[in-house]
Structure 1
Amino acid sequence: MGRCGSTCSGSAASCVSAGTNARFFTSSSRRAPARRSRASGAAITPRIGEPVLTPEHVRARRDGTRLVLLELSADKRARAVELADRFLERCRLGVGKTRDEIERSLAAQDVRASERRIAQALGKLVLDACVFEQSEGVEPPALRREVFLRSAAARRAASPEAPFSKEAVLAASGRALGLDPSRIEEMLYADLRGAHRLIAAPNLSAEALVRHYEQGQIQAVLLRAVSVVADVRCTSPDSLRYLFQKLKFRRLLYRCEALSNGVYRLSIDGPFSLFEAVTKYGLELALTLPALEACDELELKARVLWGSAREPLEFEHRRSGPPVRDGEARLRDEIVELLHDFEKLDTGWQAAPAEDILDVPGVGVCVPDLLFRHREGGDPVYFELLGYWSRDAVFRRVELVERGLSRRILFGVSARLRVSEAVLDFAEHAALYVFRGKPSARAIERKLDALRS
């Protein structure tokens, strides 16, 4: 099959390819670091364990300076559900087959040129939701070394009377490693991504997959964002904490301002505002969309750089209705590890996840990660671990302290941001803790003691 490359930008309504049966999934020959993973369906998207579409999958048009997504008509949506059902069935029937075989099976489905882009996106989401695993047995690098060394020696020793025999090499390698010679060729490159075998097909309906596709269109646009402003309203404090916990879990750079009528304005830096780590940060931003949509009301506006020319455009998205969460919010790994480290210390401090939102009216909001209380009493001390994307976030916290944040608080900052602890020396109730590598529970304890005294 030939490879179908998209020849149109994100503003086109459809992608026209050379033929209806052209292959539209790409396969990589790089080795996977883990034996079991959720595999990505597009080579340009890192495997992060969660399905995300790319701008190449977006159906949109330009309206002046605005980027407008093309909604699925009733007919197109019915067709999308049909394609999704067919792709999911192919995966269910393909359990035990290699990733390359699954991709070929999906690409062989009859798809019209006008629906090529929808099919590409659905196929990627299906593959993202599959679980592939490397075959068990001898590690392929060790097997290749054994076979190649024996093969080279056999070729040097070959003669007209005793010609080289591949079967003899494989048989000898099998005896040396205790393997069935008939399986050696299959196992030689079992660590390549395309050779991983499907062990679990997606457990979702075609309707759910299409809904995921529709949300994925918005996420893909956010991958090209310079900045995002999201006005959210949550009727319950729990929903608001859930949102902030998700934002912190994704380590996003954001500023929060409390508006009227229970509305909070989140100003989030986009991936194209950074000088590095654009792809990784963009994925984190895209994966935050479900948390934003879990609010009762959402009005999102983004400045994006779209198409190959990186044309600046405005994008808007609105949602209102009963909130639907995509699972419970989780603490970041660093915070979980820090809690465990504190439990091991012989200290007077007790640590717990913080539930408060610290608001400085007219300035901004701070959402701490942990709350420390001393066994002997006194004021508690909040702790916030800042992300490592930008040092601007540090100076925003300094401004909060300068302009009225009165709670005792400690900010943890990576030395990678090149910020001095002295920037908060003016405050008796706040401090900065700069660490290398990972935060130290013992060093934080000393900082807490200083703040308490």
Structure 2
Amino acid sequence: MLPSELLSHRQNGETIIPKHLKIDDRNLELAIDLITCFEEAVGKTQGELDNQLQEFEGDRPDYRIIRGLAHLLKSSFSTFEVVSPLSPQELRDRVFALSAQSIPSLHATSQTLSTLADKLSQELNREVLPEQIRTGLYADLQENRILTQFDAPAAESLLHRYNLSQVQGIFYRASQMTLNAHRNVPGEYKLLFRYLKLFQLMAYIEGDADHGFTITIDGPTSLFKPSTRYGLAIAKLIPALLHVTKWSLSATLQTRDLFTGKEKIGRFTLNSDCGLVTHYPPGKPYDSMLEASFADRWDSLKTDWVLEREVDLIPIPGSVIIPDFRLVHPDGRSYLLEIVGYWRPEYLQKKFAQARKADCDNLILAISERLNLEKAGVKVSDTTAKIIWFKDKLLPKAVLEVIE
């Protein structure tokens, strides 16, 4: 995504309108030129690449677009690495130690460094050349990192990523977002809900699979204090939303007046006809490292119970539950497993209220002992679900003990 200083939005009344690049010959040529610049910089330092980009930019009026495209190429398609025969910190320590053995000088020259590099090379039995020592001494500085790999995107894909990033940037200061998903296939709902959990968004879901869902998401400026990290999490949801066929959203934003500096309200709407293109794969990611590690441990377990990732929606009045896993036995028995990690008190109350409404006798809640349920006003006894407590990791054996 783009940093705030490279976002280009205008405001018409309360409506926020992001910048949009046309996929035309002019912009495609610009994208190709920048991609070529990166391809030619492979093997060079980031400082050399930055100088090339600055020279390319010159005094062009579209410099913000150039910087935005270059930022995306750096952050999403480039690999920069520290290239040094030894760790730069170790090299500096050894060079400084050798320097301390000499008579102090007011003026450190390149000749002084060459002499020290040659001495250190001798200490290392010439396994490291003096030139390697000189270049590796500060190889960990950002401008000295080497562009070792560049996975060049198609020019059109880069422009689509730029347009998407401009829209994502709007949500950095969202106070609330309401999303309506209209009568899509169940698989699209499942993927969307999994991304909601993956990015740990505080979402309240109402509706059903037959008529559609209304999803209300709290934004970073609605928390006890604004959270840029949470704003980025909302922004990351937008590419996932583009996998859904029919949807619309509206967001309330906290913006700042350019002239007075005062906070003001902004609004933004978007729908499935927006023309944005996602770069997310349509796969089914795990919602957290906790779930991924649990699935890995289950695979190494010797049991007839099969762990399934593809789980049906559990309809409840006015909402839906999507458990993390389903456990199926060859004899027909099955259980649904929901892992409850850290959430704010209001979300925990909502989660356990859903479990009560579901009244599902084959639902298992795995609850982190780190949660302060008492402070959240939650009583585990209020639900018919089976309860498993865990600390840092959920062990498959604990689940087996419950279902057996």
TM-score, normalising length: structure 1: 0.77
CA contact (8 A) 1:234 1:295 kept: no
**Other-structure match for 1:265:** 214
Distance 2:20 2:114 in 1: 58
User: Cα–Cα, structure 1 residues 194 and 387, in superposed 2: closer, same or farther, change >3 Å?
Assistant: farther
Distance 1:234 1:115 in 2: 42
Q: 2:179 aligns with which of 225, 230, 250?
A: 230
Distance 2:130 2:398 in 1: 57
User: Cα–Cα, structure 1 residues 137 and 220, in superposed 2: closer, same or farther, change >3 Å?
Assistant: same
1:166 has 2:118 as partner: no
Q: 2:372 aligns with which of 398, 411, 418?
A: 418
Distance 1:412 1:326 in 2: 29
Distance 1:256 1:435 in 2: 27
Distance 2:202 2:92 in 1: 46
- Secondary structure of 1:89's match? helix
**Other-structure match for 1:219:** 168
Q: 2:345 aligns with which of 382, 388, 391?
A: 391
- The alpha carbon displacement at 1:301 in A equals 0.9
**Other-structure match for 1:148:** 96
- The alpha carbon displacement at 1:375 in A equals 5.8
CA RMSD between the two structures: 2.9
Distance 2:341 2:55 in 1: 44
1:287 has 2:236 as partner: yes
User: Cα–Cα, structure 1 residues 313 and 415, in superposed 2: closer, same or farther, change >3 Å?
Assistant: farther
**Other-structure match for 1:59:** 8
- The alpha carbon displacement at 1:217 in A equals 0.8
- Secondary structure of 1:155's match? coil
Q: 2:273 aligns with which of 317, 320, 329?
A: 320
Q: Which amino acid aligns with 1:315?
A: F
Q: Which amino acid aligns with 1:397?
A: K
**Other-structure match for 1:121:** 68
Distance 2:191 2:273 in 1: 17
Matched residues, percent identical?
Answer: 24
**Other-structure match for 1:85:** 32
CA deviations over 1:254-274 (Å, ceiling 9, x no partner): 122226864222212222233
CA contact (8 A) 1:413 1:434 kept: yes
- Secondary structure of 2:269's match? strand
CA contact (8 A) 1:368 1:383 kept: yes
- The alpha carbon displacement at 1:431 in A equals 4.0
- Secondary structure of 2:56's match? coil
Q: Which amino acid aligns with 1:351?
A: L
- The alpha carbon displacement at 1:131 in A equals 1.4
**Other-structure match for 2:295:** 339
- The alpha carbon displacement at 1:416 in A equals 4.1
Q: Which runs of 5+ in 2 are unaligned?
A: 106-110
Distance 2:248 2:100 in 1: 66
CA deviations over 1:304-354 (Å, ceiling 9, x no partner): 112364422111112239996721222233212102223444556442214
- The alpha carbon displacement at 1:126 in A equals 1.4
1:105 has 2:70 as partner: no
User: Cα–Cα, structure 1 residues 136 and 93, in superposed 2: closer, same or farther, change >3 Å?
Assistant: same
Q: Which runs of 5+ in 1 are unaligned?
A: 1-51, 159-163
Distance 2:222 2:193 in 1: 21
CA contact (8 A) 1:233 1:263 kept: yes
Q: Which amino acid aligns with 1:423?
A: K
Q: 2:199 aligns with which of 250, 264, 267?
A: 250
- The alpha carbon displacement at 1:70 in A equals 3.9
CA contact (8 A) 1:348 1:376 kept: no
CA contact (8 A) 1:253 1:387 kept: no
Count of residues in correspondence between the two structures: 387
Distance 2:226 2:308 in 1: 31
1:329 has 2:276 as partner: no
Q: 2:157 aligns with which of 208, 223, 226?
A: 208
Q: Which amino acid aligns with 1:199?
A: T
CA contact (8 A) 1:382 1:408 kept: yes
- Secondary structure of 1:355's match? coil
Q: 1:194 aligns with which of 131, 143, 148?
A: 143
